[in-house]
Amino acid sequence: MVWATFLLALASAYVATKLIGLTNNRARLKFLGLTIATSILTIIQLGLLINNFVENTTVEIVTQFIQEWGHVVSLAFVLSSLAVFIRESKPVFAQLPLLYTAFPLLIVISYILVHDTYALKRWLIAIYQGGAILVSLLMYSVYTYRRKEYTMVLLGVVLFLLSYGLFWYVPGISSAYQWVWKLLVGTAMVVTVLGYEQAEPQIA
């Protein structure tokens, strides 16, 4: 499925570029975590592409290491970014200290504790991914109810939810039919970032 990996790398690189533009404007902290996460995803996909064309044990080991830890670190930054979104959606007097939005980064430490246990670490990643999608779904459902401009962002989250369900709960999709979830993830990312630009044109 080299072509699916290439398309996902292309989509994540495009989204990372878009998010860098958003980060460099007034919403620096808001989009910083998402920018880092998509940049890491791009590196992971490029590593997988290299691994497909270069038959070398060292390259394979390095690629697997980057893929495993890249997923964990990117998930931590996504959750941290969502915490910033939630914080900024509240009135100033009700906002938690900004330091609290960095707490999701501690999941990297929790992953270290189960690093040698295959079943536990897969279970942990599934929980992190599901948690991020569930929080996003709830948050952007409320945003869309208040402002219709967030409809496209909500659609992107729904696509993430669909790819999550297919990857974890439909046998064979995660390995034999990788192109299905990879295309969904790539589409979800593009739709979401275009939704951000549409919902917050003053930032874009």
Whether residue 137 contacts residue 105, with contact meaning beta carbons closer than 8 Å, is answered with no
**Mean pLDDT of the 101-108 span:** 87
User: Coil, strand or helix: which one is 156?
Assistant: helix
pLDDT digit string, tens, across residues 140-162: 999 899 889 899 999 999 999 99
Is the predicted pLDDT of residue 186 greater than 70, yes or no? yes
**Mean pLDDT of the 37-42 span:** 95
Whether residue 81 contacts residue 30, with contact meaning beta carbons closer than 8 Å, is answered with yes
Q: Report phi then psi at 114, rounded to 5.
A: -115, 15
Is the predicted pLDDT of residue 9 greater than 80, yes or no? yes
CATH architecture assignment, domain 2-199 = Up-down Bundle (1.20)
Q: Give the residue extent of every domain in the chain.
A: 2-199
**Mean pLDDT of the 55-79 span:** 89
Phi-psi region of 172 (alpha: psi -120 to 50; beta: other; left: phi over 0): left
Please give the pLDDT value at position 184.
Answer: 94
pLDDT digit string, tens, across residues 16-35: 999 998 887 655 778 889 99
Q: Which residues of 96-126 are buried (b: 16+ CB within 10 A; e: fewer)?
A: eeeeebeebeebeeebeeeeeeeeebeebbe
